[in-house]
Structure 1
Amino acid sequence: MVEAHRTSLVYALAPADVEAVCRITEHALGTVKRSSGESVRAIVDWNPDFAFMHVFHVCMEQLGMLPSYQDVRRYAHSDPLGKRMLGEPAKAKVRELVERGFSERQVRDAMRWRVGNAYYSFLREMYTVVQLRYSGIDVRVHPLADALFRVDAWVGRTAISLRVGNKKFRQGLGEGRKTPAEELLGAELPPFKFSTIELAPATRFGSVHLPSSQHLNAAVARISAQDPGHRN
């Protein structure tokens, strides 16, 4: 199913569209604190069978707009495909862990933390892609590239990765939860080039953590030098 997915709406978005969603979206983590959100190990790295980015991309294309967190929640609980991709698997995981002895509140908080952070990653990626495109870089994106190769976006043969430095999961190219694109694609011929936008950890709770203009300007300069022929 992910191979057949067609990504189109993101290419029609303007920076103001993404910024508006960042303003109106419900706080994706609710009132859940990190200590509670990461207290259930079985959910910290949980993924539905359909990768989160695939779910969010399908939701966006079906709704015809960049979704807020509340849009995603409604989609997962009321749309038949949304329920199959995310809503029902999440509920099943919660039931499984409650039956194993975890408190329902603890498990629900952990699931909110997991899904909420995944949504924020998606929103951050959409913001970055739209900003780079508006800077003249012909950036492309597809959930299959993320699911298989950890590539958040690409232009020509330059793979772009957006990361938030986190000593627990990853920093630079060290140990982390996700195998970096450099390791997955580093041996391919002709060779890929890699451009990483790495943000410092978020310092404010309750707001979307986005790359700064300095991050984006540096990325534009770096990508333009690597793939000078790919301008839109």
Structure 2
Amino acid sequence: MTNLLHIYAFGSVCRGEISPGSDIDLLAITAGGRNDLSRSMFSIYSHAKIEHIWQEGNPFAWHLHLESRLIYSGDDKDFIRALGPPAIYTKAREDCERFLAIFRQALASARCNHNSIVFDLSAAFLGLRNFSSCYMLGHGRPDFSRGVALTLMANGPPVDVQTYRILERARLLCTRGHGAALRKADIAQALQVLPRIEEWMLGLLKGTYDER
């Protein structure tokens, strides 16, 4: 059992969202005793940790449950499939507030320091996407796609698709170094809508949970 290994692909490659800027997300689940796995290539978890996040109903557990695909099994078993569905997700409010805070920090930085504007827009996209994924999962509609916020915005979008793609492009530039550089007009367009996105996120929280 010491060196038992299971390897899974997850993310965009399993959703069919492959594009020139896509990478392949790989998960290695090991029982311990291995130091030959590259942390730049794999997300590395122990079997015990995976079981723990399953019991928590963690969003990453739901992500893996719905989208991962087995690539290699050291015991010819599908460890993740054998776990069954994760527990019900109960921390939507807490997680949404955390990702709203990340979005707000990015917005504040973008307003006062244009030297890091691409990084700030990337962080804003991260906060928006993860906020939307957690909100959707909390309402029983799991969606971990790059366009999850657009799905959530369907009934009252504070941002058009073109501007959303600018934020997404900033994320790809920061994390993968891929894509055309943002023009001044792109940056101005994104900065114009970030406050509206913040208001929309706050409205979702206040409309769903207790008034603060």
Q: Which has the higher helix share?
A: 2
Under a length normalisation based on structure 1, what TM-score does the superposition of the two structures give?
Answer: 0.27
| Larger-Rg structure | 2
Under a length normalisation based on structure 2, what TM-score does the superposition of the two structures give?
Answer: 0.28
